[in-house]
Structure 1
Amino acid sequence: MLLKTFGWSFAVTALGLVAAVFYGGWTGFGIVAILSILEISLSFDNAVVNAGILKKMNAFWQKIFLTIGVLIAVFGMRLVFPVVIVAISAKIGPIEAVRLALDDKDKYQQLVTDAHPSIAAFGGMFLLMIFLDFIFEEREIKWLGWLERPLAKLGKVDMLSVCIALIVLLVSAMTFATNAHQHGGIHTDKTETVLIAGVAGVITYLIVAGLSGYFENKLEEEEEREHEAEEEAKKSGKKVPAVVMAGKAAFFMFLYLEVLDASFSFDGVIGAFAITNDIVLMALGLGIGAMYVRSLTVYLVRQGTLDDYIYLEHGAHYAIGALAVILLVTIQYEIHEVITGLVGVVLIAWSFFSSVQRNRRLAAAEGKDTGPNEQAEVSSGV
């Protein structure tokens, strides 16, 4: 199981490290290894959230996620994206941006750093919308019940998450963006840039998530039509296969996954410049890390880890919220990548530990005569 899931990741690691040695010697080897570890540590929460979405998709789309999805992640976000950002922000052609990336690495790093406010605003708002929609949704299982219960009640107000996100964007634009960090330690006013990029992030989320939700509802209708057949299968003692997404529903969920991955990768791409400004080594290191994140996503799905450790998804979404805030703060202040990675790791580790405790309580309750109210409290977490 382990080799089947992570086999391609192991192969890509070997090829990437060999290519790093040929390209940059043993120094290049070390840089690529460090970048790989950096990407994995920063993106573990991404894998948990992806797994929650991927488990709804059939085997075909899971393979697409591991093949075409990897190409998009490695070549799109880790190689093409930094070049596109430089081309747009510096108002130069893509060919000139590639030339700078290969021949004038210092200038290239400067342009990417100067484009950071727009990147942080777009990614931060997209991730913030994911977090807000999660905590405002009424769900049976609650991790931090004292917080999630009142927030779920507030979530009944239409468009609340959008209103809060736009308020956060306005506050960020009037505070962090007025003194945005730029290359060389200087600061400048990027209010207009941050507002436009942030609104674009919210719009992107609404479009992609809206389409995904629409086709997911279509899938639920199909599930209802197949309900009678499932009941008959249960009566006959046969295993009832889970209905998974296919067709248009799976396509838009796949699109949602790719946009989500893109937003998660912003901090990794920007943070990589603290280690190297060589675009080739950066693509190799972050690409290896991205491959492991995808393999880990599939592993979580196939092992049913999210079903066994029910609060993992909660912890990952809280990590998303923290990352969104961190991205917005970095418009003005530099925050070390270690801090960003540790926040996500701590939240996920906490949710994992809470899941283990919950499983122990449920196991202990099975041997007791537990009343309905008491059993509901055991099942709903803190």
Structure 2
Amino acid sequence: MVLKTFGWSFAVTALGLVAAVFYGGWEAFGIVAILSVLEISLSFDNAVVNAGILKKMSAFWQKIFLTVGVLIAVFGMRLIFPVVIVAISAKIGPIDAVDLALNDKDQYQEIVTDAHPSIAAFGGMFLLMIFLDFIFEDRDIKWLAWLERPLAKLGKVDMLSVCIALIVLMVSSMTFAAHAHQHGGAHVDKAQTVLLSGIAGLITYMIVGGLSGYFEDKLEEEEEREHEEEEEARRTGKKKPAVVLAGQAAFFMFLYLEVLDASFSFDGVIGAFAITNDIVLMALGLGIGAMYVRSLTVYLVRQGTLDDYVYLEHGAHYAIGALAVLLLVTIQYEIHEVITGLVGVVLIAWSFWSSVRRNRALAAAEGKAHGSDEKTEVSSGV
């Protein structure tokens, strides 16, 4: 079961890590490994959501999502999108960006370094919005309850996450960006660049969120129509046309899943810029991670267990928040990629261990309750 589901992911991992060693030695191997773990951890909740929707789809549409969807997710978002970000930030063509990355690493590094403040501002704001919208939402299950309860109450204030994000952007542009260059009026230009890039990141988040919400509403409409048609079929005794329903509902599900995957790809790609600027290593690490996300989606669908580790989603979003802060800090200060990578890994591991402890405690409580019930039955029988 595991080999059948994760076989391709294991193969891609082996090839990707070997390619990383040949490309940049053992340091590149470590960066690709960290990027892979980062992508898996940040997209774990995406896999859970995907599985919840995918299990409602027919076998045909599941296959479409796991084939065409993989091409879009891996080659579209994880491989092409980082190049597009570098090209736009550095104001060069995508082909030139790839050519420089492969053939003139010194000049490419210089271009990316100059463009890094705008990339960091864009990515930092996008990731910060993901974190804020998560942390301000009132959830039934809370990981760090002492922190999440008061924040959930504050989240009832409309547009609070946007206001906080804009305040953080203004402070970053007046501090980190202002001190990035001290000669002449360069610091003013840098501050304006960071401000504009951060606003662009905020707008991008809102557009992606709007599209996701649009397709989610469409999906809910299809499900309501499906329920009404089923009720009508019961009353009249007529057979409902399953082909039309499956086609339309599954099509909207597919579109929604692709937009949702794209939105989660943003945080993986942007977070990767906090670890490395090398688009080759980025493509290898994120590509490996994307394969595991797809395999994990299939595994969750086949196993039917989506709620075993309830705190992982929290850990992933705390990792996103940490990466957002680190990206904004890197506008002025250089932070080693190992530190930025390990922060996310530690948070994910902590949330996983907390989930395991919770499951054990619940199992122990159920065992005690079952034992006391048996004792009560015995004493009643006596």
| TM bin (shorter chain) | 0.7 to 0.9
TM-score, structure 1 normalization: 0.77
CA contact (8 A) 1:129 1:165 kept: yes
- Distance in 2, matches of 1:7 and 1:315, equals 27
**Candidates 35, 38, 61, aligned match of 1:39:** 35
Change (3 A) 1:352 1:27: closer
Give the corresponding residue for 2:213. 213
Q: Percent same amino acid at aligned positions?
A: 72
TM-score, structure 2 normalization: 0.77
Change (3 A) 1:132 1:93: closer
CA contact (8 A) 2:268 2:286 kept: no
Give the corresponding residue for 1:203. 203
| 3-state secondary structure, aligned to 2:167 | helix
Amino acid at match of 1:8: W
Greater CA drift, 1-10 or 110-119: 1-10
Give the corresponding residue for 2:259. 255
Give the corresponding residue for 1:378. none
Shift of 1:285: 5.2
Unpaired runs of 5+ residues, structure 1, are 231-242, 370-382
Aligned residues: 347
| Residues 229-244 of structure 1 mapped to structure 2, 5 A cutoff | none
Change (3 A) 1:315 1:79: closer
Change (3 A) 1:35 1:223: same
Shift of 1:181: 7.9
Give the corresponding residue for 1:246. 250
Amino acid at match of 2:160: L
CA contact (8 A) 1:121 1:198 kept: yes
Greater CA drift, 162-171 or 257-266: 257-266
CA contact (8 A) 2:77 2:262 kept: no
Shift of 1:223: 4.6
Give the corresponding residue for 1:338. 338
| Residues 1-382 of structure 1 mapped to structure 2, 5 A cutoff | 1-16=1-16, 20=19, 26=22, 30=26, 33-58=29-54, 63=63, 66-77=66-77, 79-180=79-180, 190-220=190-220, 222-223=222-223, 246-269=250-273, 271-273=275-277, 283-284=283-284, 286-296=286-296, 298-300=298-300, 302-303=302-303, 306-366=306-366, 367-368=368-369
Amino acid at match of 1:368: A
1:130-150 Cα shifts (integer Å, max 9, x gaps): 111111112212222222122
| 3-state secondary structure, aligned to 2:157 | coil
Change (3 A) 1:297 1:107: farther
Amino acid at match of 1:262: F
User: What RMSD over aligned residues (CA atoms) do the two structures have, in Å?
Assistant: 3.5
Change (3 A) 1:353 1:159: same
CA contact (8 A) 1:73 1:290 kept: yes
Shift of 1:111: 0.7
CA contact (8 A) 1:219 1:249 kept: yes
Greater CA drift, 4-13 or 109-118: 4-13
Change (3 A) 1:299 1:37: farther
Unpaired runs of 5+ residues, structure 2, are 232-245, 371-382
Shift of 1:106: 0.8
1:56-104 Cα shifts (integer Å, max 9, x gaps): 3225666555444444454445543454344334433444334323332
Shift of 1:37: 0.9
Shift of 1:107: 0.3
1:296-333 Cα shifts (integer Å, max 9, x gaps): 45445554564011111111111111111111111111
